[in-house]
Amino acid sequence: MSQMSATCRSCNHKGLVEILNLACTPLANNLLKESELKKPEAVFPLQLVHCPKCSLLQITESVPPETLFSSYPYFSSFSDTMVSHAKNLAERLIKNENITSADLVLEIASNDGYLLQHYKSAGVEVLGVEPAKNIAEVAINDKGINTIVEFFNEELALSLAGQRKAKIIHAHNVLAHVPDLNGFVEGMKKLLRDDGLILVEVPYARPFLENCEFDTIYHEHLCYFSLTALDKLFKRHDLTVCNVKQVEIHGGTIQLEIRHAEHSTRSVAVESLLAEEDNWQVNNSEGVLYRDFKNKVQRIKLDLLLMLRQLKNNGNRIAAYGAAAKGSTLLNYFGIDKSLIDYVVDRSTYKQGFYMPGVHLPIYKPEHLLKDQPDYVLLLTWNFAEEILKQQKEYIRRGGKFIVPLPMPKII
């Protein structure tokens, strides 16, 4: 049973304002076996709301983390972009923070070791915390990454801190998944050395709103962050966002450097971005970015459905690329099923052979595109467009075309 969040997940304010209602949808990563296709699927409300007090965008429903993450189909190492980004980041921090073999680097939601492997190869001691057993086993067995198979919380942090505190704590694309934001942040604080650094990456609210990235709304993503919301959250726990950097990955991400308040001050970059957010009325639920978001989603839905139906009526065959959660949100909310799309392909061997939730499209290897040569491919994982288009050069050379759905549908 899921619980309705009547108050803000960060500041407990009660006057939350609806921005977009995606109705009831299945869990985006709940891929189905063929034997499950005739069974009823659980669906949950998916409503995006805004807190005018601390500016946090969030969904109202909390599905138990054990349901979402104990077994998980997303492996970061299948993305060359993610592995390259992780390698560059690890090398930069080792140099800038003077990390040695005497230090401990810890990652929360460490996935398959895609990031920690780069520290390990440099001789640094690493520890991963990853609740999905199937993914943690890959990190442990294939990459030799010491990994605790648990959900990170304040209790676990206190236990670990009693043994050894971390010089660096990484939290990449995990904060948005956390029901108890304040307990999570307090745990990081207690686990961090006095001279330590927390590095957080989260999808950024502004491109999310401007580019209408509504497909990143699903039940695992409880929150969608502005720097204003994050600054207030960390300040509540005597932590300072001392630097911020905007990164292109995942359609627009902010990377934060956070330290104990008594050991840091805000950078010019932080003050500047906070001022920008104030200018676009980050705290105003009736501001133009929030107000236009719903209208943009409806326009994209109409345009994309019209495009797909016209192509289909003209005798074209259409497939899709990317069995990711964002693809599930788009397909289910727009009602794109077997009447328009024949199948989905995905690079992850852990998804191949399964079916997309809700719409029940089968998932094949990317090589199936060359074998079948559909006329068009709807690029559901548009955030990795450059990488995927390079991988699919032969399909394109043979005349295949890709449809990119966001920020407005176009054929390339």
11-53 tens-digit pLDDT: 999 999 999 999 999 999 899 999 999 999 999 999 999 999 9
304 to 23, 164, 334, 405: CA distances (angstroms): 19, 53, 9, 7
Higher model confidence: residue 190 or residue 62?
Answer: 190
Instruction: Give the per-residue pLDDT at 79.
Output: 67
- Show Cβ contacts of residue 146 under 8 Å, excluding neighbours closer than 6 positions: 126, 127, 128, 140
196 to 167, 231, 259, 263, 264: CA distances (angstroms): 4, 18, 7, 9, 11
Domain ranges of the chain: 76-279, 288-411
- Calculate mean pLDDT across residues 271-282: 96
Instruction: Give the per-residue pLDDT at 3.
Output: 44
Tell me what percent of the residues of the chain surpass a pLDDT of 70: 95
Homologous superfamily (CATH) of 288-411 is NAD(P)-binding Rossmann-like Domain (3.40.50.720)
Task: State the greatest distance between any 2 C-alpha atoms of the chain, in Å, as a whole number.
Answer: 66
Whether the Cβ atoms of residue 74 and residue 132 lie closer than 8 Å to each other: no
- Calculate mean pLDDT across residues 290-314: 96
- Calculate mean pLDDT across residues 113-134: 93
Residue 86 has pLDDT above 90, yes or no: no
Instruction: Give the per-residue pLDDT at 115.
Output: 92
Instruction: Give the per-residue pLDDT at 71.
Output: 57
Q: Which fold has domain 76-279?
A: Rossmann fold (3.40.50)
Q: What is the pLDDT of residues 201-260, one digit of tens each?
A: 998 999 999 999 999 999 989 999 999 999 999 999 999 999 999 987 656 899 999 999
Q: What is the pLDDT of residues 332-342, one digit of tens each?
A: 999 999 999 99
Residue 356 tokens read as: 């997309």
pTM of the model: 0.87
Between strands 192-203 and 223-224, the pairing is unpaired
Q: How far apart are CA 23 and CA 169, in angstroms?
A: 36
Residue 409 tokens read as: 């549908």
Instruction: Give the per-residue pLDDT at 112.
Output: 87
Nearest to 288 by CA among 409, 206, 405: 206
Q: What is the pLDDT of residues 166-198, one digit of tens each?
A: 999 999 989 999 999 999 999 999 999 999 999
Nearest to 13 by CA among 212, 232, 317: 232
Instruction: Give the per-residue pLDDT at 2.
Output: 42
Residue 35 tokens read as: 């034997």
